[in-house]
Amino acid sequence: MFIVLSLKHRVYSEKNSQTKLTDGVMKIVKYNAYDLKFLSDADISYNPALGTGQIQIKDIHYVEYEYRTTWEFCQLLDRKYLNSARRTFDDWHREAIKNKWIKA
């Protein structure tokens, strides 16, 4: 299980009467926790610019749930990788061996 914590915050400053310095304050105004496996297909994308194996969540504050098994989630990630930058199965296999996702 991989939990994604989503925080909405407000940042403001206030003058500290004792030190006469300005304190920066970050206040959490809303939060949610999501199981990564259940984020909808449309909310997850694979962005090659982020580096190998990095996924991107489009807008963590507005996601939809799509219940799936772990196997279905692995297939989703593989499909997203293959669809990014026109990768082939050979590209995927080379990365899988290099990163020890599978044993050759």
Q: Per-residue pLDDT tens for 44-77?
A: 988 777 876 688 899 888 899 999 999 999 999 8
**Dist CA 14 CA 25 (whole Å):** 8
Mean pLDDT of the region 79-98: 85
Coil/strand/helix, residue 7: strand
Residue 104 has pLDDT above 70, yes or no: no
Any residues with CB less than 8 A from the CB of 2 and at least 6 apart, and which? 35, 36, 37
pLDDT of residue 95: 84
- What's the mean per-residue pLDDT of the chain? 88
Quote the pTM value.
Answer: 0.70
Residue type, 51: G
Mean pLDDT of the region 79-100: 85
